[in-house]
Structure 1
């Protein structure tokens, strides 16, 4: 149930019988030949589809995240760590003030991980609330499915190439790109990252069969839904 399809009267009614909120987190950054909004598209879509049978309210995706290493790529936007932490806190403060008590962040971008620490700090002064942080793409069952299909999977490679993250009339290279040195990447500023990566794919094939992608997606939906429905105590 998307909050964009509701007015405030409906949300007020929802809070009379449920206090759960799902908040997708994404990023706007380079993904090689895929959409710059890959992380946002996937986080919101997995949240909405997982929540569909539960009736739990889903907020719009936060489409900007922490991605300083990609700012040399045109179109990539990075928030400062302090800014991101304040956004997470402000969202939680706003919703808790209205009566929401259980929050599931469905995160689609690894750089956003400091937000989890911010949420845990927030919990120290909100003992009556619960927060779950779900990195949907590397959750145990979903990542196991990815690895079973092809262990060479990374940022902007086939594992993020779904029918809904592709751009029309954009072809993909057919070769398997060698894996980048991820430890080396962590030592570079954004211009050097761009020079090193080139197109932006960290390594692996650029695309696999849609059958493989739908199989991963099915696992991701089920795994995310279990977090919505299972015991929050």
Structure 2
């Protein structure tokens, strides 16, 4: 079914009309990488796109092009993982933003589900904000969920590790048909990180053999629904209180 918010599904006439109603564009970004033996390689971008769609239904936003692939070099020993260079991602994202800015968008919300994309998007935003009269915000979605999980998750910090309790629960809620629960696994990291205070960059294959870090088997659709609902409520509150976007689909002056 055709969406009324996806730019890629609009004719230029439809876009021209819709653009008169909003200054807000949502840009999904993610990755194309191993996500355990039970979740699809596109988990990151699938979640980012769906969250963007659910959000746009409530705040009268247009969803711009999705950047499906990120920098996933640390996972590239797992079959199917695709990675692009940071400079390639930055150039593509920057060109996307510049094109959207040309058509009059002033508010850019990045819904991002891949940690490697965070600093690159931040660089683009920093450059834009030096000279442009626009507003930008980024939701680093998987890390964002850590602030909203009280009373939901069971396995502590590892609940938010790769393809673990939180991520699996979200996928069970958003894309149950893509979750292969016959193959989910409980695999804590097989090496202890003795230096969490120092950034170092091991390959994921040295930490997990399955691509899962943590216990995916305690995930439930109900947990995923609660996490998604809380995340949408929080983002909508930000857009309403900080940027003046009303929930009833029109904008008030800030």
TM-score range, shorter chain: 0.7 to 0.9
Give, in angstroms, the shift of residue 218 of structure 1.
1.0
- Asked if residue 178 in structure 1 is aligned to residue 183 in structure 2, the reply is no
Structure 1, 10-19 or 83-92: larger mean CA deviation: 10-19
- Asked if residue 119 in structure 1 is aligned to residue 133 in structure 2, the reply is no
Inter-partner Cα distance in structure 2 for 1:60 and 1:5: 11
- 2:22–2:60 contact (8 Å) kept in structure 1: no
CA RMSD after TM alignment: 2.3
1:30 aligned to which of 7, 31, 34: 34
- Which position in structure 2 is the counterpart of 1:158? 165
- Which position in structure 1 is the counterpart of 2:223? 212
Structure 1 unaligned blocks of 5 or more: none
SS at match of 2:137: strand
- Which position in structure 2 is the counterpart of 1:144? 147
Inter-partner Cα distance in structure 2 for 1:231 and 1:199: 41
Give the TM-score taking structure 2 as reference length: 0.80
Give, in angstroms, the shift of residue 168 of structure 1.
5.6
- 1:39–1:108 contact (8 Å) kept in structure 2: yes
- 1:67–1:111 contact (8 Å) kept in structure 2: yes
Inter-partner Cα distance in structure 2 for 1:59 and 1:137: 21
What do residues 49-99 of structure 1 show as CA deviations (whole Å, max 9, x unaligned)? Answer: 012122211124211011110111111111111111112211111111111
Give the TM-score taking structure 1 as reference length: 0.86
Change (3 A) 1:203 1:186: farther
Change (3 A) 1:147 1:204: farther
Give, in angstroms, the shift of residue 207 of structure 1.
4.1
Give, in angstroms, the shift of residue 186 of structure 1.
3.4
Inter-partner Cα distance in structure 1 for 2:76 and 2:9: 34
1:75 aligned to which of 80, 90, 93: 80
Inter-partner Cα distance in structure 1 for 2:70 and 2:226: 28
Inter-partner Cα distance in structure 2 for 1:13 and 1:120: 30
